[in-house]
Structure 1
Amino acid sequence: MLKIANFRRFLICGLLGLILTGVVSCLKSPNTKAPQLEFWTMQLQPKFNGYFKDAIGTFEVANPGIKVHWVDVPWGAMQGKIQAAMGSKTAPDVVNLNPDFAIQLAARNAWLNLDPVLTKGESKEYLPSIWQAGTLDGKAFSFPWYLTSNITIYNQELFAKAGIVKPPTTYQELAQTAKQIKEKTGKYAFFATFVPEDTNDVLESLVQMGVQLVDKQGKAGFNTPAGKAAFQYWVDLYKQGLLPRESLTQGHQQGIQLYQSGETAMLFAGAPFIDTIAKNAPQIANISAVAPQISGQTGKKGVAVMNLVIPRTTKTPDAAVKFALFITNATNQLAFAQASDTLPSNVQAVTDYTTKLASGNDKSTIAQGKSIGAQQLAQSEILIPPLKNLNVLKKAIYDNLQAAMLDEKTVEQAVANAANTWDAGK
């Protein structure tokens, strides 16, 4: 009996030893599940499902230790969603944002500082002026991705009725064209919005006219002769009846509608809008042609950027940086530009894109528009400087411009009031 008891004790101890060994082994064994990156984009599904499936697949094959989970967020929901995710510490590892919003969070130290993790060669892969737009206080926080550059889309029939041979290239010519079209056709030449929550187009026009929005100390830099002249330009157009009255209350979508209905002679938008016009108003598309973006005496052309940022809270910063560099490399930027009718920000991709357009046989209006947009990149930059409170500056300028247009203030008062508002609230 003693031997049986001893055997049972030995068996139990042995089994316990095996169990404990298994537990310790499980605790010590590395997690074989590959780390997962969460990647958020803005309203790119379902059109680009194939593109991202291929791109992510290629990345995962080249980096077997990393898995990428792609999440697409509706355009209007992104700001609220990313802020909520940041607050609950569930932010993605790589996220697609526009610079205006990204810089607001950069001011709160939300994004990974890229300077210590990138080589100088990697940062120089992007157009210099576009890279600079993703910096704040001298620190880089974003990877430039795809671009859009406004061109002039114009109604050839209205131009012919007004006796205009070629579209304007400067704001001075634009004012003359607006007057001639109104007098000869009764139509408006174009639509501009002064709604602060909408586009930055009017704010950018001030920069193109030679206005410095803020000085090196961050104070208002536009209470100058150049600033007053730029304010006067827009006030005069409105008071002379050369801008639609709804410019003070409606946004850029109204401008699209007016052009598509034949009520305006020009639309300032990216080349992809040509396809939109063709779908919504084919008769207008058939008489539309394209020309370079309007500029001022500076010759500067504006460009809009979509970028990639990495939340500072990411648990896999190395993998996130590697993925962001991959998505924005020359090969992938060129492929995405061709698939999306946007423009690349990678230097090599821009060269390849321009070469392909020049060597192609496509003579369509949209192809011409894309070619013009690509050629403009050499003179293009983010016209609005990186500002923590851009919305405050924009509202101050737009509100005071409206007041001057409605004769509630003189131009001098409007400029001074806008400058004081910015300096007090920035």
Structure 2
Amino acid sequence: MSWKSVWKQLGLVALFGLMLSWVVSCSSPSTDRGQQQSGTQEVEFWTMQLQPQFTDYFNQLIATFEQQNPSLKIRWVDVPWADMERKILTAVSAKTAPDVVNLNPNFASQLAQRNAWLDLDDKISAETRQQYLPNIWKASTLNGKSFGIPWYLTTRIAIYNTELFKQAGISTPPATFAELAQVAKQLKEKTGKYAFFTTVVPEDSAEVLESFVQMGVQLVDGEGKAAFNTPQGKAAFQYWVDLYTSNLMPKETLTEGHRYAIDLYQRGDTAILASGAEFLNTIAQNAPTIAQASATAPQVTGETGKKNVAVMNLVIPKDTDVPDAALKFALFVTNDANQLAFAKAANVLPSTVKALQDPYFTSEPANATPVDKARVVSAQQMQSAEVLIPAMKNVKRLQKVVYDNLQAAMLGQKTIDQAMNDAAQAWNRQL
């Protein structure tokens, strides 16, 4: 799996529940990996599936850091995406974890609950913190404490088929869910095509659950109990059920995942694809005619105006032998200049204010490609973007109980009220 998979949330492995209970309490003698006979200190740095595409970038980054800090050496370990959760759980429990590790806030927060990471609030000045987008920094906090440093970002945009819009007499892409429903109806009536595809398969995309937040729904309260069984929550359930029962969403919504959304768009069977800018290259390769007709717009949102963002961060285990050196390196990796360089290399977004203000993200070049245009659209969303699903234990379980009951309502097996309340009760029972 490539770096592009950052669009997907890390799922919690089945092993997680078992290992989490002893991940901090179990211990073995701490090894003094940080101290070297030569008088230098070694910082072990783990990333997720960034080799071989970015090997040259990181080798140069590390060489520059070591030049500037002769007493520090970086040992870079790239871990396959699918192995990271298991490996970091095992390493933290055995107190052999790396000194700096690349995770995402959703997974890292599970271990933050067990006090596994270094508390950064006393180690990073307010001035340094202000270099990062405030909403993005907040994603790596738990109970008011900072456990991670933001790194690179990705966000959804709306890729739309201008030819289908023209056939349906639609001049502008929808900006809100209310407008999306109108566009869906008009497209179906005029062209027989669906406006979009999204999934309510519990194990797949969180896009529908995120839409609840965008519509003003609070998912859980301060104690972690269900807070979505409210008038706003009912309206969100009703919105998706109405679209489905009105045949304005494909039946495969109940059975297929996000990959199917890409397939439908590439075939010209849907007019809007909610996805990352990098998929424009995929569409150009697989469906050049569709790519030629494609344009980009900000992602559809609700009355809150919130936009989704996926964050990758750097965390430092609290048991590291070299906390100061680890922090120095983590801040170097995520500084303005290095974030800008990596964002350009990887077609992602930086999490620092200054890097995001670079002309590369604020203005289209002459003869701009669709990817250039999409990059500017993506960057413009960052001021209102945030991680929409709060960090919490068993977040995938929350998605499952909501989606299972939403499906039941879509199929007419439950009323809206029953589906919403059953989902809330199911979530509260597992707390």
Check if 1:369 corresponds to 2:380: no
Check if 1:423 corresponds to 2:428: yes
Check if 1:393 corresponds to 2:398: yes
Aligned to 1:260: 266
Check if 1:190 corresponds to 2:192: no
Change in Cα spacing, 1:34 to 1:280, as seen in structure 2 (3 Å) is farther
Of 274, 279, 284 in structure 1, the residue corresponding to residue 280 of structure 2 is 274
Rg (Cα) greater in structure: 1
Aligned to 2:112: 106
CA contact (8 A) 1:40 1:71 kept: yes
Aligned to 1:57: 63
CA contact (8 A) 1:334 1:353 kept: no
Match runs of 1:285-324 below 5 Å: 285-324=291-330
CA contact (8 A) 2:362 2:379 kept: no
Give the AA of the match of 2:236: A
SS at structure 2 position matched to 1:267: strand
Check if 1:360 corresponds to 2:365: yes
Check if 1:383 corresponds to 2:385: no
Query: Structure 1: how far apart are the matches of 2:284 and 2:254?
Result: 28
Query: Structure 2: how far apart are the matches of 1:225 and 1:328?
Result: 42
Query: Structure 1: how far apart are the matches of 2:321 and 2:266?
Result: 48
Deviation at 1:359, TM superposition (A): 6.5
Of 113, 125, 129 in structure 2, the residue corresponding to residue 123 of structure 1 is 129
Of 227, 233, 236 in structure 2, the residue corresponding to residue 230 of structure 1 is 236
Query: Structure 1: how far apart are the matches of 2:357 and 2:376?
Result: 12
Aligned to 1:174: 180
SS at structure 2 position matched to 1:83: helix
Query: Structure 2: how far apart are the matches of 1:154 and 1:30?
Result: 56
Query: Structure 2: how far apart are the matches of 1:252 and 1:214?
Result: 25
Change in Cα spacing, 1:419 to 1:79, as seen in structure 2 (3 Å) is same
Deviation at 1:79, TM superposition (A): 1.5
Check if 1:247 corresponds to 2:245: no
Query: Structure 2: how far apart are the matches of 1:127 and 1:300?
Result: 15
Deviations 1:199-225 (A, max 9, x none): 221111011111111223332211111
Query: Structure 2: how far apart are the matches of 1:317 and 1:114?
Result: 10
Aligned to 1:339: 345
Query: Structure 1: how far apart are the matches of 2:129 and 2:206?
Result: 27
Q: Which runs of 5+ in 2 are unaligned?
A: 1-34
Aligned to 2:48: 42
TM-score (norm 2): 0.88
SS at structure 2 position matched to 1:167: coil
Query: Structure 1: how far apart are the matches of 2:261 and 2:115?
Result: 37
SS at structure 2 position matched to 1:89: coil
Query: Structure 1: how far apart are the matches of 2:238 and 2:358?
Result: 42
Deviation at 1:120, TM superposition (A): 1.5
SS at structure 1 position matched to 2:305: coil
Query: Structure 1: how far apart are the matches of 2:167 and 2:153?
Result: 35
Deviation at 1:283, TM superposition (A): 2.0
TM-score (norm 1): 0.89
SS at structure 2 position matched to 1:44: coil
Give the number of the structure whose residues are more often helix, by fraction: 1
Hey, which bits of structure 1, 4+ residues long, moved more than 4 A? none
Q: Give the number of aligned pairs.
A: 397
Identity of aligned residues (%): 58
SS at structure 2 position matched to 1:145: strand
CA contact (8 A) 1:113 1:140 kept: yes
Query: Structure 2: how far apart are the matches of 1:247 and 1:54?
Result: 45
Of 214, 220, 233 in structure 1, the residue corresponding to residue 220 of structure 2 is 214
Deviation at 1:418, TM superposition (A): 1.2
Of 383, 403, 406 in structure 1, the residue corresponding to residue 411 of structure 2 is 406
Give the AA of the match of 1:283: T
SS at structure 2 position matched to 1:59: helix
Give the AA of the match of 2:338: N
Q: Which runs of 5+ in 1 are unaligned?
A: 1-28
